[in-house]
Chain A
Amino acid sequence: MKTLRLIWVGWKFHVKSLTLSGFFILTSVLQPIIFASVAYFMFQAGAREGTLLYVALGAGMMGIWSSTLFGSGGAIQWQRWQGTLEYCIAVPPPFLLVIVPLTLATATIGLYSLTATLVWGRLFFDVPLHVAHPVAFIVALPVTVVGLGLLGLILASTFIMYRNANALSNLLEYPVWLATGLLVSLSLLPVWVGPISWVLAPTWGINALRDAAIAGNAWPEIGMCLLLSAVYLVIGYFALQHFERLARERATLTLT
């Protein structure tokens, strides 16, 4: 119960804190809208038949990934700059329970992106917003956010070993958009991209949302998202422990 309360309070705090950042919100809303517009125009100009809802959901998920990537990738570094990292580690609860709410919050903020691209698409590109399976869609949404948030935990705990984490974030934005099939069918990509896409939560998240919204059975993808979340949690736990031990041994906790 205490654990759940800690996660809930931490998540609420970080969502509020990130919502107060004009930069973060505007980036979460404006960037996906621009990319969504580019995608809408490209698909409208192209010869492929299909619904623009496919594009809207993909562009929204691009925003959730960007938000998670930049928010979680820099999470520990940001605590370092603010001088709060030592306190986060010194408090009685495990460090994992302090960081997980933060990474979940960065993925949650990405929901602004999804909302923005759907509303934008509806208003200016006549994107149909009819959801075929509302229950599955409502379940798929938080499950996807949790999946990405816990993937963010791995980013947070591994990027810290790299001094220029921002550069790594810049590098990983496009490849994950591409490899997880957010706007391009995975069948067009080289075969070796397949296994990479399978271990990334956005692949299953977007498939779940599309199946629920357009047509199809979203539950297997929702299950895969939950399974991957559990795997990310375990990896993140050990990665964080490793980072904490190294930082204590080398006395680098406060170095920026």
Chain B
Amino acid sequence: MRENLRVFFIGGYLSYRALFNWMHWSYYIPTMLGAPVFQILFFAYIGRYAQVESDEFFVVGNAVQLSAMAGIYGMAMTVGGERWTQTLSPLLATPANRLPLFLGRALPLIANGIITSAFAFFVGWLLLDFELTWSEIPALAVVIAVSAFSCTALGLVVGALGLRMRDVFFLANFVVYALLLFCGVNIPLDTLPGWMQDVANRLPLTHGIEAARAIANGSSLSDVSGLVWTELGIGAAYAAAAFLLFKLFELEGRRRASFETI
């Protein structure tokens, strides 16, 4: 147990530091804080131009969606980075339990997602027609944390596929953009075709965004508890799937000797 906790916390911390070894602050600020500002403005202005929904709709949708960015790109970069620096084989040669090994890498990314999301809400409040009362913030923080978790769980699936695929960054890009299309980030869910709504209900973010919008409209956390639990359940399902995929692709990778292929 102690060893697993050590792998979870220290392994995760070292991996996160390594991530920022190639992800310098001069990379972090424009990518994780700068780009989100313009993403929110871009969609809010399209909304104004197309005369669809209010600024609040776009601020909440995009701010919650941005918590996905850290989790999905971060996990892709973690596995892709290990492959690029040729440390993936030594990592997988260790006897460490895979569950804390990879979940530990996910934890700092969840925190990162929360920071990006909070910053996006702040920017939305500062630059657009969006108001938030102090009493709404704790409930919103819970929803953001749960959404960041579920998105990072999806990021774990992407990372697991990175054990098999040579170019995991393409997949990460595709997943982030697909969430933007399906999860009601900028499009009212009820205007999407039925099959897209079905897909959306099985993806992380959808329920988190819906809960966050309800809270911004005055609902309490208990009012949206069903949505929050669903979001959490979806995240747990993706985390479980990721664990199985990591196991499967690790075996595959050993058989095919493909861990060092770049």
Chain A residues packing against B (C-beta within 8 Å): 22-23, 26-27, 30-31, 34-35, 37-39, 41-48, 162-164, 166-168, 170-171, 173-175, 177-178, 183-185, 188-189
Given contacts A38-B180, A41-B192, A46-B50, contact A173 B26 (CB under 8 A): no
Can you spell out 12 A-B residue pairs with CB atoms less than 8 angstroms apart? A26-B170, A26-B174, A34-B181, A38-B187, A46-B50, A167-B26, A170-B30, A170-B34, A174-B42, A178-B42, A184-B42, A185-B49
Q: Please give me the residue from chain B that is nearest to A47 by CB atom.
A: B51
Cα–Cα, bound, A131→B93 (Å): 60
Contact A167 B31 (CB under 8 A): yes
Given contacts A167-B31, A173-B35, A174-B39, contact A31 B46 (CB under 8 A): no
Contact B49 A48 (CB under 8 A): yes
Contact B46 A171 (CB under 8 A): no
Task: Please name all residues of chain A whose beta carbon is closer than 8 Å to the beta carbon of B50 when the two chains form the complex.
Answer: 42-43, 45-48
Task: Please name all residues of chain A whose beta carbon is closer than 8 Å to the beta carbon of B46 when the two chains form the complex.
Answer: 39, 42, 183-184
Residue-wise, chain B 36-47 has the 8 Å CB interface mask toward A (1 for contact) of 001101100111
Contact A174 B49 (CB under 8 A): no
Interface presence of B261 (CB below 8 A): no
Contact B38 A178 (CB under 8 A): yes
Q: Which of B24, B47, B174 contacts A42 (CB 8 A)?
A: B47
Q: Please give me the residue from chain A that is nearest to B38 by CB atom.
A: A174
Contact A170 B31 (CB under 8 A): yes
Instruction: Give the dominant DSSP class at B's interface.
Output: helix
Given contacts A23-B167, A34-B177, contact A42 B26 (CB under 8 A): no
Residue of A34, A35, A43, A163 contacting most chain B CB atoms (<10 Å): A34
The contact size tier of chain B is 35 or more
Interface presence of B13 (CB below 8 A): no
Given contacts A30-B177, A41-B191, A168-B30, contact A46 B52 (CB under 8 A): yes
Task: Please name all residues of chain A whose beta carbon is closer than 8 Å to the beta carbon of B178 when the two chains form the complex.
Answer: 34
Contact B51 A41 (CB under 8 A): no
Q: Nearest 8 A-B pairs (CB), nearest first?
A: A46-B50, A46-B52, A174-B38, A171-B30, A47-B51, A167-B30, A167-B27, A45-B191
Task: Please name all residues of chain A whose beta carbon is closer than 8 Å to the beta carbon of B49 when the two chains form the complex.
Answer: 48, 183-185, 188
Q: Please give me the residue from chain A that is nearest to B40 by CB atom.
A: A174
A-B contact count (CB 8 A): 101
Contact A164 B26 (CB under 8 A): yes
Task: Please name all residues of chain A whose beta carbon is closer than 8 Å to the beta carbon of B31 when the two chains form the complex.
Answer: 167, 170-171
Q: Please give me the residue from chain B that is nearest to A185 by CB atom.
A: B49
Task: Please name all residues of chain A whose beta carbon is closer than 8 Å to the beta carbon of B42 when the two chains form the complex.
Answer: 174, 177-178, 184
Given contacts A34-B177, A42-B46, A48-B49, contact A164 B27 (CB under 8 A): yes
Q: How far is the CB of A179 from chain B (nearest CB, A)?
A: 9
Q: Which of A22, A48, A170 contacts B51 (CB 8 A)?
A: A48
Cα–Cα, bound, A45→B177 (Å): 20
Task: Please name all residues of chain A whose beta carbon is closer than 8 Å to the beta carbon of B26 when the two chains form the complex.
Answer: 162-164, 167
Interface presence of B130 (CB below 8 A): no
Interface presence of B48 (CB below 8 A): yes
Q: Which of A27, A46, A188 contacts B170 (CB 8 A)?
A: A27
Cα–Cα, bound, A171→B173 (Å): 15
Q: Which of A22, A43, A44, A175 contacts B167 (CB 8 A)?
A: A22
Residue-wise, chain B 165-196 has the 8 Å CB interface mask toward A (1 for contact) of 00101100110011011000011100110000
Task: Please name all residues of chain B whose beta carbon is closer than 8 Å to the beta carbon of A34 when the two chains form the complex.
Answer: 177-178, 180-181
